[in-house]
Amino acid sequence: MKKTLILVRHATAEDQSFRVKDFDRDLNNKGLSEAASMGKWLAESKVSPDIFVSSPASRAYKTAEIIADELGFSKSSIISRANVYDGGPKAYLSAVTETPETFSRLILFGHNPDITYFAEYLSGANIGSMKKGSVVIIDFEDQKWEEISARTGNLITYKTPKQTRDSD
């Protein structure tokens, strides 16, 4: 059965400061707009994830909540995985390979540089550095989640918030 993985880098957050721990940085106004724009684009593109998984860091989780709203997905169903925040690409892989087979479309929210490395690892594509708020969609033909590994996916789309605004 075909699997679709949607990777989302968190949208733009407030700058790092001495007052706020990195983990607690919130989206700024630009980030709120980027997340809403990407959610609308996903909805218009008929991309409908079955399961939402996010880093628990404020900026990633808020991006997930906004996109969930745009897609009509219950925010209370978003699964938070602590190791996605700082566990490296292996944490992303375990988030994917541990997804129940009952789901065929997973959306995963995380951070650079790990999310870009992970997208390139799975697809073999050269994406560069995923922009804040951007989305990568990778399809896997005839694979179970647990079988997904290096270069087993096909990059379908890489879309940035700027590209969604420019196409309006």
What is the per-residue pLDDT across 133-162, written as a single tens digit (0 to 9) for each?
999 999 999 999 999 999 999 999 999 999
Name the pLDDT band for 16 (thresholds 50, 70, 90): confident
**Cβ contact 33:63 at 8 Å:** no
Element (H, E) at 111: none
Evaluate if residue 71 carries a pLDDT over 90.
yes
Tokens of 8: 């989302």
Cα separation, 139 vs 148, whole angstroms: 10
Report how many domains make up the chain. Answer: 1
Helices of type H across 74-113 = 83-86, 88-97
Domain enclosing residue 158, as ranges: 3-166
Q: State the helix-helix crossing angle for 88-97 and 114-123, rounded to 10 degrees.
A: 60
- CATH (domain of 66): 3.40.50.1240
Tens-place pLDDT, residues 99-126:
999 999 999 999 999 999 999 999 999 9
**Cβ contact 58:17 at 8 Å:** no
pLDDT at 78 (0 to 100): 98
Tokens of 68: 């969930």
pTM over 0.85: yes
Cα separation, 72 vs 148, whole angstroms: 28
Evaluate if residue 84 carries a pLDDT over 90.
yes
Name the pLDDT band for 4 (thresholds 50, 70, 90): very high
Greatest alpha-carbon pair distance for the chain in Å reads: 48
Tens-place pLDDT, residues 21-55:
999 999 999 999 999 999 999 999 999 999 999 99
Instruction: Calculate the alpha carbon distances from 33 to 13, 26, 36, 41, 118 in Å.
Output: 11, 13, 5, 12, 25
Cα separation, 120 vs 35, whole angstroms: 22
pLDDT at 18 (0 to 100): 83
pLDDT at 167 (0 to 100): 64
Evaluate if residue 168 carries a pLDDT over 60.
no
